[in-house]
């Protein structure tokens, strides 16, 4: 039995969510915040709230005139302590929506522990103010039951993770927050050194290099819930500082790591959602995901797969289709089943503006499917009846369907149709609220060509190992080289990503050279890793799962800021504390830092 704290020492005998019918007749002391305040014919009712729930407390004439007077002066968010007897609620006044709804506390004594100013927002209100106001008064926002529920879910997920990996023999090891700046994709947050003027630490984008060193050091199963920092543009599912579950294993292959994460995901689904998952989780290659869904993290809660009609487009009189196909582009589309009546011409124009404005597509072609699978559209006159029939057959068209097609470069068709598919999936209700789908995408390209820099860049990071069968492609055909990489995908979000690492120093140097990292730069920035790889480095690999994103997905939320106690805005500011802010000139002098007005 865990040690039970004497709650009387904390000015309360029970929490506001604890009392039930079996407590009737007991004298109790509760502490909490005034939630609602109702005065009915001389009897005062207050809902007292803490993070455990609400309890109705009653100030009646038998409470005493002075006690009732104090109760009448109470207002929302005042902090009080009440002592009284637990009593059954009068017949027909029970509240089935509350766990404490069968009882009330008849107040004998009340203490005002702290008065509240009139709050700019009420935590119990159904309609909440703007997000900026909520973040400015985050201490009030965090009192909302929805926020408390989310942070409790976050705690449960973290505990579940730690218990799971402890059972599997992983060792939780902390890695440094102040480290060396290394090129890992995003900008580093830099910290100037006072004792080494002109030099800088970098906050970690991930513990990548440290966990590889731990594998070389013999700690074959490492895990950490790690804080990471990336100075990049923000959006709803991204923060400048975030938390990830980070793990690494030695003497393993990709299948071993995915199997460990399969077990974690299955336990999370069972304990948090009551869902039994069939293992192993389904997998598809990167190439298959891009062809079928246009994205490397496809939402598989519904179908609506992309269909390629480029070969048929070459036979059309419609020049946009024919010219695109003949010039090496792609003509691809999706079939929105039964959506022909749902989208008017105005609605289709909105979809067109969406794919052209948000994804750079040149346009959106469409056909509505009538009886006999006949395709109707302003552009239908540019197609023979026979060609229209073949398009209908290729796209599995039936009466009432809406066919939407994009003709453009392959990359543009992927982005536009993936975005369109996700939008239609939500608008047409193709999945149920709370529905979850878990899968893996594997065998990513090792490299992608950076048009701006004019060279190859690592798709994951420079320490990713190629597939053994692709080693011979490295020198001359890097575009064809596939990585031992794997991403966990949940509901169309990348929930985590990992790779098997390079454990051979010569291969690591070869990859650095291919990425334009010369020998001198590699020695300066990664010399400790290259040295360590020459002292008995075992095969190893790992993965990182985004904790904030997992909480968002398992909590059914759509904004990652609601999963973090004190998040930043999209401008990377903390509205509550005012961070980032200016610092004293003395601090800057000590650090040898000057501020440029530019």
Distance CA 513, CA 323 (A): 39
Residue closest to 59 by CA, chosen among 80, 102, 20: 80
CATH number of residue 250's parent domain: 3.30.930.10
Residue 175 Cα distances to 21, 236, 543, angstroms: 50, 28, 16
Token pair in block for residue 461 = 């990071």
Q: What is the DSSP string of 104-157?
A: EEEEEEEEEEE--PPPSS-TT-SS---HHHHHHTHHHHTTSHHHHHHHHHHHHH
Mean pLDDT for 477-495 is 96
Determine contact, residues 576/568, Cβ cutoff 8 Å.
Answer: no
Distance CA 87, CA 62 (A): 14
Confidence check: pLDDT of 236 > 70 = no
At 237, is the pLDDT very low, low, confident or very high (cuts 50, 70, 90)? low
Determine contact, residues 563/150, Cβ cutoff 8 Å.
Answer: yes
Unique residue bearing structure tokens 């766990």: 99
At 1, is the pLDDT very low, low, confident or very high (cuts 50, 70, 90)? very low
Average pLDDT, the chain: 94
Confidence check: pLDDT of 2 > 60 = no
Helix, strand, coil percentages, rounded to 5, for the chain: 35, 25, 40
Task: Please indicate, yes or no, if residue 486 is contained in any of the structural domains.
Answer: no
Distance CA 349, CA 343 (A): 9
Q: Clarify whether residues 182 and 93 are in a common domain.
A: no
Distance CA 374, CA 36 (A): 62
Enclosing H/E stretch for 334 = strand 330-336
Token pair in block for residue 257 = 């790591």
Residue 117: its pLDDT value, please? 96
Final residue before a domain boundary, out of 114, 144, 160: 114
Task: Please indicate, yes or no, if residue 126 is contained in any of the structural domains.
Answer: no
Q: Clarify whether residues 351 and 309 are in a common domain.
A: yes
Task: Please indicate, yes or no, if residue 123 is contained in any of the structural domains.
Answer: no
Distance CA 368, CA 404 (A): 9
Q: Clarify whether residues 317 and 253 are in a common domain.
A: no
Distance of CA 538 to the CA centre of its chain: 32
Distance CA 229, CA 238 (A): 11
Residue 6: its pLDDT value, please? 56
Token pair in block for residue 113 = 């522990």
- What do you get for the CA distance between the two ends of the chain, in Å? 62
What is the reported pTM?
A: 0.93
Final residue before a domain boundary, out of 362, 397, 430: 430
Distance CA 122, CA 140 (A): 8
Q: How many CA atoms lie within 13 A of 219 on its CB side?
A: 17
Unique residue bearing structure tokens 């077990």: 263
Q: Clarify whether residues 418 and 331 are in a common domain.
A: yes
Enclosing H/E stretch for 49 = strand 43-50
Task: Please indicate, yes or no, if residue 489 is contained in any of the structural domains.
Answer: no
Residue closest to 550 by CA, chosen among 474, 401, 438: 438
Token pair in block for residue 322 = 């024919």
Task: Please indicate, yes or no, if residue 21 is contained in any of the structural domains.
Answer: yes
What angle do the packed helices 410-427 and 345-359 form, to 10 degrees? 130
Q: Clarify whether residues 417 and 335 are in a common domain.
A: yes
Distance CA 240, CA 101 (A): 43
Residue closest to 250 by CA, chosen among 536, 489, 462, 51: 536
Q: For the segment 78-132, what is each residue's pLDDT rounded down to a tens digit? A: 999 999 999 999 999 999 999 999 999 999 999 999 999 999 999 999 899 999 9
Confidence check: pLDDT of 167 > 90 = yes
Residue 181: its pLDDT value, please? 87
Distance of CA 552 to the CA centre of its chain: 5
Residue 518 backbone phi and psi in degrees, to 5 = -70, 170
DSSP bridge partners of 597 = none
Beta-strand relationship, 447-450 and 540-546: unpaired
Q: Clarify whether residues 148 and 272 are in a common domain.
A: yes
Residue 107 backbone phi and psi in degrees, to 5 = -75, 130
Q: Clarify whether residues 138 and 276 are in a common domain.
A: yes
Determine contact, residues 81/29, Cβ cutoff 8 Å.
Answer: yes
DSSP bridge partners of 583 = none
Q: For residue 180, count other CB atoms closer than 10 A to its CB.
A: 16
Distance CA 425, CA 542 (A): 33
Residue with more model confidence, 20 or 570:
20
Confidence check: pLDDT of 348 > 60 = yes
Beta-strand relationship, 455-458 and 447-450: antiparallel
Residue 184: its pLDDT value, please? 60
Split into its structural domains, the chain has a count of 3
Enclosing H/E stretch for 550 = helix 547-554
Residue 75: its pLDDT value, please? 95
Q: Which residues of 22-59 are buried (b: 16+ CB within 10 A; e: fewer)?
A: ebeeeebbbbbbbbeeeeeeeebbbbbbbbebbbbbbb
Q: What is the DSSP string of 429-459?
A: T-S-TT---EEEEE--BSEEEETTTTEEEES
Q: Where are the alpha helices (DSSP H) in 446-575?
A: 505-514, 519-532, 547-554
Enclosing H/E stretch for 308 = strand 307-308
Confidence check: pLDDT of 4 > 70 = no
Token pair in block for residue 277 = 């998952």
Mean pLDDT for 515-539 is 92
Task: Please indicate, yes or no, if residue 235 is contained in any of the structural domains.
Answer: yes
Q: Clarify whether residues 218 and 316 are in a common domain.
A: no
CATH number of residue 94's parent domain: 2.40.50.140
Distance CA 15, CA 51 (A): 9
Residue 291: its pLDDT value, please? 97
Give the strands of the sheet with 402-408, arranged side by side. 307-308, 330-336, 402-408, 365-369, 375-376
Q: Clarify whether residues 158 and 208 are in a common domain.
A: yes
Task: Please indicate, yes or no, if residue 274 is contained in any of the structural domains.
Answer: yes
Mean pLDDT for 208-235 is 93
Q: Clarify whether residues 160 and 257 are in a common domain.
A: yes
Final residue before a domain boundary, out of 399, 415, 430: 430
Q: For the segment 428-485, what is each residue's pLDDT rounded down to a tens digit? A: 999 998 899 999 999 999 998 887 778 888 888 899 999 999 999 998 999 999 999 9
Mean pLDDT for 272-292 is 97
Task: Please indicate, yes or no, if residue 448 is contained in any of the structural domains.
Answer: no
At 186, is the pLDDT very low, low, confident or very high (cuts 50, 70, 90)? confident
Q: For the segment 364-399, what is each residue's pLDDT rounded down to a tens digit? A: 999 999 999 999 999 999 999 999 999 999 999 999
Q: 5-19, 249-263, 474-488: lowest mean pLDDT where?
A: 5-19
Share of the chain above pLDDT 90, in %: 89
Range of the domain at 97: 7-114
Q: Clarify whether residues 85 and 196 are in a common domain.
A: no
What angle do the packed helices 519-532 and 505-514 form, to 10 degrees? 150
Token pair in block for residue 329 = 């582009």
């Amino acid at each position: 039995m865990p040690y039970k704290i004497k709650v009387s020492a904390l000015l309360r005998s029970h929490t506001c969510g604890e009392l039930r019918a079996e407590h009737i007749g007991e004298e109790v002391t509760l502490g909490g915040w005034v939630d609602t305040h109702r005065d009915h014919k001389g009897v005062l009712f207050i809902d007292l709230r803490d993070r455990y729930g609400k309890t109705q407390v009653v100030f009646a004439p038998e409470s005493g005139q002075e006690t009732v007077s104090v109760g009448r002066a109470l207002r929302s968010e005042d902090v009080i302590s009440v002592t009284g007897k637990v009593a059954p609620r009068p017949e027909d006044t029970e509240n089935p929506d509350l766990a404490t709804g069968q009882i009330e506390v008849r107040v004998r004594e009340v203490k005002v522990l702290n008065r509240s100013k009139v709050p700019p927002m009420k935590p119990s209100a159904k309609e909440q103010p703007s997000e900026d106001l909520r973040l400015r008064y985050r201490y009030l926002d965090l009192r909302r039951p929805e926020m408390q529920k989310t942070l409790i879910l976050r705690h449960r997920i973290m505990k579940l993770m730690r218990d799971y990996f402890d059972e599997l023999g992983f060792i939780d090891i902390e890695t440094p927050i102040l480290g060396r700046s290394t090129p890992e994709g995003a900008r580093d947050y830099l910290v100037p050194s006072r004792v080494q003027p002109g030099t800088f630490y970098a906050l970690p984008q991930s513990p990548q290099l440290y966990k590889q060193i731990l594998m070389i050091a013999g700690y074959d199963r490492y895990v950490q819930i790690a804080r990471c920092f990336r100075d990049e543009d923000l959006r709803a599912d991204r923060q400048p500082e975030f938390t990830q579950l980070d793990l690494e294993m030695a003497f393993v292959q990709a299948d071993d790591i995915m199997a460990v994460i399969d077990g974690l995901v299955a336990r999370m689904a069972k304990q948090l959602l009551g869902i039994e998952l069939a293992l192993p989780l389904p997998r598809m290659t990167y190439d298959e995901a891009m062809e079928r869904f246009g994205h490397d993290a496809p939402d598989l809660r519904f179908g609506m797969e992309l269909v390629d009609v480029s070969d048929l487009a070459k036979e059309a009189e419609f020049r946009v289709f024919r010219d695109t196909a003949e010039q090496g582009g792609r003509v691809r589309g999706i079939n929105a089943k039964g959506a022909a009546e749902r989208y008017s011409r105005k609605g289709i124009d909105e979809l067109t503006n969406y794919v052209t404005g948000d994804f750079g597509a040149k346009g959106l072609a469409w056909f509505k499917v009538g009886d006999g699978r006949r395709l109707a559209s302003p552009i239908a006159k540019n197609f023979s009846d026979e060609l229209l029939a073949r398009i209908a057959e290729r796209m599995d068209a039936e009466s009432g369907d809406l066919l939407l097609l994009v003709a453009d470069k392959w990359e543009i068709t992927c982005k536009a149709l993936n975005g369109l598919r996700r939008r239609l999936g939500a608008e047409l209700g193709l999945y149920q609220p709370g529905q979850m789908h878990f899968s893996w995408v594997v065998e990513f390209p090792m490299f992608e060509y950076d048009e701006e820099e004019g060279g190859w860049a690592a798709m994951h990071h420079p320490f990713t190992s190629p597939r053994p069968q692709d080693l011979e492609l490295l020198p001359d055909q890097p575009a064809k080289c596939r990585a031992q990489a794997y991403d966990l995908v949940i509901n169309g979000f990348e929930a985590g990503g990992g790779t098997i690492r390079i454990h051979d120093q010569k291969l690591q140097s070869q990859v650095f050279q291919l990425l334009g990292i010369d020998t001198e730069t590699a020695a300066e920035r990664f010399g400790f890793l290259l040295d360590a790889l020459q002292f008995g480095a075992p095969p190893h690999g790992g993965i990182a799962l985004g904790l904030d994103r997992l909480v968002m997905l398992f909590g059914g939320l759509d904004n990652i800021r609601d999963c973090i106690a004190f998040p930043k805005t999209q401008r990377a500011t903390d509205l509550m504390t005012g961070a980032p802010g200016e610092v004293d000139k003395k601090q800057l002098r000590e650090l040898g830092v000057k501020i440029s007005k530019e």
